[in-house]
Structure 1
């Protein structure tokens, strides 16, 4: 059952130099045709954050958080993992169609293609982590030892995305409408994940339980704990266990779907 996951890890190690080169080229080519180039990679997410901040904090003054931290900082620390998740899911889902000329090459190991999207988006992800860190310091909230667990939550998110994108990328060549389906789900998921709000706003334990079933809750809350010096990840054993069970199931499902559909990719691409 876990054989495909082992092969994947082995392929990543064997092709690590090629994978890094692929990731760098992917990031460069994404904005190569525009006049301002890489500027757009940074501008769009920053405008999104500032828009949400202005509308909900300045305009509506909506009490979406518990007021413990400035809303702009609370928003930014939630948007950092969300941007990475949405960007990777969107780009990796189309990766086999985008690199169809490689899919048809028997000698090329296409198993590593979704991972190239994870790595190429890490460049932007690292930039926004730095922005959030600067804003945090500007508000007098300095990183402590808890900040180190950011690497754990980043790794957890990458594992979750690996399983998920194996599945979505494998079925996309056969069901192109999956992109539209993902777009709709992402709109609902954005509001069902504690990016703009705090779970402490809900006093009903049942509501909190349902919201915590979303695996992204674990990651987003973990990022905030890393920035704000909250709890360590091992202090939430139930949530940690649940997240990794879901992630493992996704990895098994995604790897097996990929294995079954891979021989037919060249027929539809």
Structure 2
């Protein structure tokens, strides 16, 4: 199992140029057939942010945060990593079916395909991080050294997604219903992750403990700490250790499932 992870890292390094080219082509082809092209990549997330902001802050005036920062900033800094997570999970799960012609080629290393989806969605993620940064500065919240740890939390999220998409992409050719299952889970997970609310809204320590078991809590809270100058990641050693243990288990599980099911991909695709 440890060899599988080592071989994967080796394959990523050896195929880095191919991965970059593949991710660019994947990003371009996603909107190639539409009239407005890449505009739709920006429009949908922006409309989602504005809708949540209008409903919860302007309409309902729901006190979902601790009041330290405007709700629109709190929302943007939490929803940016969520967008990346949901986009990668959705596209990464279908990657072997989408590129079935590559799966059937013996000479092509299909293990790197989920990583290509990680990179192709990274371009939009970088754009929305920049938008959130500009919005923060417009509200008088300027970045400091803490902002540098956003690269750490992005790396952490990419490692977590690597193991997760290995697993979901490997079983999707055999169980197509996994897409519907993920869609249902994502609806519940959206509200179970502190994207729209602060964990301080739940003073009960038991409830806080349960909410922190969600690995995405670590990433979303980390993004906010990076934007707002909160704690460094090493100041939360328990959460950090828990997240990386879960991520490592997921990487081992994903690589094992991929290795066992890979020989049968061409039979079902």
TM-score norm. by structure 2 comes to: 1.00
Aligned length: 269
Q: Which residue of 1 aligns with 2:200?
A: 200
Which consecutive residues of structure 2, in runs of 5 or more, have no partner in the other structure? none
Listed one character per residue, the Cα deviations across residues 129-153 of structure 1 (whole Å, up to 9, x for unaligned) are 0000000000000000000000000
Q: Which residue of 1 aligns with 2:25?
A: 25
How far apart, CA to CA, are the structure 2 residues paired with 1:92 and 1:203?
37
Q: Do residues 232 (structure 1) and 232 (structure 2) align?
A: yes
Q: Which residue of 1 aligns with 2:43?
A: 43
Q: Do residues 261 (structure 1) and 232 (structure 2) align?
A: no
How far apart, CA to CA, are the structure 1 residues paired with 2:208 and 2:164?
24
Q: Which residue of 2 aligns with 1:70?
A: 70
Listed one character per residue, the Cα deviations across residues 19-69 of structure 1 (whole Å, up to 9, x for unaligned) are 100000000000000000000000000000000000000000001111110
Q: Which residue of 2 aligns with 1:89?
A: 89
Cα distance, 1:195 vs. partner? Answer: 0.1
Map 1:163-182 to 2 at 5 A.
163-182=163-182
Cα distance, 1:109 vs. partner? Answer: 0.3
How far apart, CA to CA, are the structure 1 residues paired with 2:223 and 2:139?
17
Q: Which residue of 2 aligns with 1:248?
A: 248
How far apart, CA to CA, are the structure 2 residues paired with 1:176 and 1:68?
44
Q: Do residues 153 (structure 1) and 129 (structure 2) align?
A: no
Cα distance, 1:268 vs. partner? Answer: 0.1
Q: Which residue of 2 aligns with 1:57?
A: 57
Q: Which residue of 1 aligns with 2:116?
A: 116
Q: Which residue of 2 aligns with 1:5?
A: 5
How far apart, CA to CA, are the structure 2 residues paired with 1:249 and 1:115?
18
Which consecutive residues of structure 1, in runs of 5 or more, have no partner in the other structure? none
Q: Which residue of 2 aligns with 1:219?
A: 219
Cα distance, 1:154 vs. partner? Answer: 0.2
How far apart, CA to CA, are the structure 2 residues paired with 1:248 and 1:126?
25
Moved over 2 A (4+): none
How far apart, CA to CA, are the structure 2 residues paired with 1:20 and 1:255?
22
How far apart, CA to CA, are the structure 2 residues paired with 1:52 and 1:268?
41
- Corresponding residue SS for 1:35: coil
Provide the aligned C-alpha RMSD in A. Answer: 0.3
How far apart, CA to CA, are the structure 1 residues paired with 2:92 and 2:254?
13
How far apart, CA to CA, are the structure 1 residues paired with 2:170 and 2:20?
22
How far apart, CA to CA, are the structure 1 residues paired with 2:208 and 2:88?
27
How far apart, CA to CA, are the structure 2 residues paired with 1:77 and 1:11?
33
Listed one character per residue, the Cα deviations across residues 217-243 of structure 1 (whole Å, up to 9, x for unaligned) are 000000000000000000000000000
Cα distance, 1:4 vs. partner? Answer: 0.6
TM-score norm. by structure 1 comes to: 1.00
